[in-house]
Structure 1
Amino acid sequence: MQEVEQLRAENEQLQRAVASHAVVDQAIGVLVTMGRIGPEDGFTVLREVSQHTNIKLSSIAEQILKHAQGAALPETVLAELHAALAGRR
Structure 2
Amino acid sequence: MQLQQAVHAHAVIDQAIGVVVTVGRLPPERGWHVLREISQRTNTKLRTVTEHLVDRPRTHDLPETFATELYRQLEDAHILHVQQ
Interval containing the TM-score (normalised by the shorter chain): 0.7 to 0.9
For residues 23-54 of structure 1, give each alpha carbon's deviation from its aligned partner in whole angstroms, at most 9, with x where no partner exists: 00011011111110010010000000000111
- Relative to the length of structure 1, the TM-score reads 0.82
> For structure 2, which runs of at least 5 residues remain unmatched after alignment?
79-84
CA RMSD of aligned residues (A): 1.1
- Relative to the length of structure 2, the TM-score reads 0.86
Q: How far apart, CA to CA, are the structure 1 residues paired with 2:57 and 2:31?
A: 14
Deviation at 1:70, TM superposition (A): 5.4
Task: Give the percent of matched residue pairs that are identical in Structure 1 and Structure 2.
Answer: 50
| Maintained 8 Å contact 1:28/1:39 | yes
Tell me which stretches of 4 or more aligned residues in structure 1 moved more than 2 Å.
Answer: none
Matches within 5 A, 1:2-81: 12-69=1-58, 71-81=60-70
> For structure 1, which runs of at least 5 residues remain unmatched after alignment?
1-11
